[in-house]
Every structure is written in structure tokens, then in C-alpha cells.
Amino acid sequence: MNRNDLCWCGSGLKYKKCHLDFDERIESYRYDVFKSQCKPPHDIILTPGDIEGIRKSGVINDAALDLAGSMVEPGQNTGAIDEAVREFIEKNGGIPACLNYEGFPKSICISINEVVCHGIPSKKTILKEGDIVNIDITTILDGYYADASRMFIVGGHTTPEAEKLVRVAKECMELGIEAVKPWGWLGDVGAAVNAHAKANGYSVVTELGGHGVGKDFHVEPFVPHVGQPGTGMLLVPGMVFTVEPMINAGRYKVTVDKKDGWTVRTKDGSLSAQWEKTILVTETGTEVLSS
Ligand code: MF3
Ligand code: CO
Ligand code: CO
């Protein structure tokens, strides 16, 4: 690309007035293959217009999570929460991204106790006092995806062990997000998450992770929740991805339900907790686009 060409980002500005300095900074690094260091590709660096689209989608997604949370109570069936969230998202002009995604049969994921993620809501699944529940919702609005999840404690109280797991899992996500710095490295995220989980005697699921998101549901980079500082992809302003650590009270291994092909459980049957936010890398740090 020449200095006087229109910038690759679609801003309509000349390259020299737009992303030239940015690209030169990306090129200035000596990417260490022994640390799996790599450049972010142009197609995951989003424009201000794209970011505004995701931000708007996030407003609806966060409100959908508020609604879902308000329905969590002993005796509630998870199918009813799924239906209410679907209606809410559609009423606001959006689409629930999970519905029919690679054959997923419902609009949101509801994952209870030893279910790590991708739990399928059902009229037959009844929440009971003391359950710990992850509700994960992704909204598409005008083509833009916002993805977030929260934990809820059914009835407001559970065992001290389960309460601690829910709290520490949230701290893991927060520390992972704090580790995101413009011109830092993706491995910093997993290093921060894993250190906090380990310090509390927990393990981190490695088979699933966060992901780039925005113009599609799951794009580059895969965001591992374990790792070494200073490794992986260079983080630059304009990248949007999720941080969504799955923290197990026992071992890190998981299994997928053979019958439904979706429900992921801890292999050892221990409790698991997860929180997720969609974040933007900014010039100075991060901005939360959905939580
Ligand atoms: N929202 C999940 C994530 O955080 C993905 C769910 S895909 C589904 O990436 F098909 F299970 F819904
Ligand atoms: Co999600
Ligand atoms: Co996600």
C-alpha cells in the first residue's frame, strides 16, 4: 500500500493520514517465534463505525442479561428464560446469535453447577436453591455481535465453596482484562487468569477460550486463559475480543455430552464458573462493549 492510497481500514482517508504510522509500529517489532509472537491481521482491526455497531449491540445484550438474571429463582425452568430473552432481543431489533449457530437449538446458553458452558435451556431443567448458573448471551444487531455472560446464585445463597468459586472466577476475568494493554501481548491475559485461579486452588479450562468478535461470532484471535506473559499475538487498538475464563473447582478436563453434542461438563464432576465480557483495545487500555 502506497502513502497516497486510500487506507485499508475504509476510513476514506489517505494511508499516510490514517494507519501508516500504526502499521509501521506493528512492523517495527521483531516477532519472536520461540514466544509464538505474531502480528494481528488487518481484518481484525475494526473501524470506529464497526466499534459503534458493536457498542449498540452490547447495550441490548447487557439488558438481555439483566432480564435473564431477574428471572433466576428456585423453581424457574431454564426454557422460560431462553424464550423471554429471545423475545426481548427480537423486540429490540436484534437476533440471538446462538439460535441455530452450528445447530445449537436455543437462543442462549444456561450452564448449571458442573456444566462448564453451552448448556441447553429446557422447560424440563428446573433451577433449585443454591445452584450456580452461568447465562451466556450473544446479540446480533445490524450485523454486529456482542457476547457476554454472568453467574447467578439461585436463591441468593449457596455453599461457601461455590460462592468462592463464583467470586474468584469473576476476579480471574477482571485480572485478564486488566492485563490487556495496547502494544502488549495476548499471552499476558492467560498468564494473569491462570495465576489467580491457581493461587486459589482452581484449574482453568484450556480446550475452550475467548475469541475475536464483532463482525462475526468467533474470529481470530483464540484467547487462551492460560499462558506466558509476552507471548502470542500483539494487541493493538481497534481489536475486539472476549475474555471468558472457565474456572473449575477440580481438574481442568472437560467432556462434551454424547447425546446432545453441546453440553460441556467438568470431567471430574466438580463445579465450574465463568464470566465473559466483550472488550475493545483502545489507545490507552480497554473499553468494555458488553458485560
Ligand atoms: N456465547 C458462547 C461464547 O462465549 C458461544 C455459544 S455458541 C452456542 O463464545 F452455540 F453454544 F450457543
Ligand atoms: Co458467550
Ligand atoms: Co464468547
pTM above 0.95, yes or no: yes
* pLDDT tens track for 138-150: 999 999 999 999 9
Interval between CA 260 and ligand 1 midpoint (Å): 15
CB–CB of 42/50 below 8 Å?
Answer: no
pLDDT at 36: 98
Ligand 1 atom with minimal separation from the 108 CA: 12
- Strand, coil or helix: 193: helix
Cβ neighbours around 256 below 10 Å, total: 13
- Between CA 154 and CA 170 the distance in angstroms is 17
Interval between CA 149 and ligand 2 midpoint (Å): 6
- Using most ligand atoms within 8 A of CB, pick from 136, 151, 277 the residue to mutate for ligand 1: 136
Ligand 1 atom with minimal separation from the 102 CA: 10
Ligand 1 atom with minimal separation from the 218 CA: 9
Percent of the chain whose predicted confidence (pLDDT) is above 90: 99
Q: Mean per-residue pLDDT for 86-91?
A: 98
Q: Mean per-residue pLDDT for 261-270?
A: 98
**Domains along the sequence of the chain with CATH:** 34-290 (3.90.230.10)
24 contacts: CB under 8 Å, gap ≥ 6? none
- CB-based burial label for 170 (10 Å; 0-12, 13-18, 19+): middle
pLDDT at 92: 98
* pLDDT tens track for 160-181: 999 999 999 999 999 999 999 9
Around ion ligand 2, residues with a beta carbon closer than 5 Å are 136, 147, 149, 276
pLDDT at 10: 87
Q: Mean per-residue pLDDT for 273-279?
A: 99
Ligand 1 atom with minimal separation from the 276 CA: 4
Q: Mean per-residue pLDDT for 243-265?
A: 98
pLDDT at 264: 99
Who lines ligand 1 at CB under 6 A? 98, 101-102, 104, 109, 118, 136, 138, 147, 242, 244, 262, 276
| Mean of pLDDT over the chain | 98
- Strand, coil or helix: 242: strand
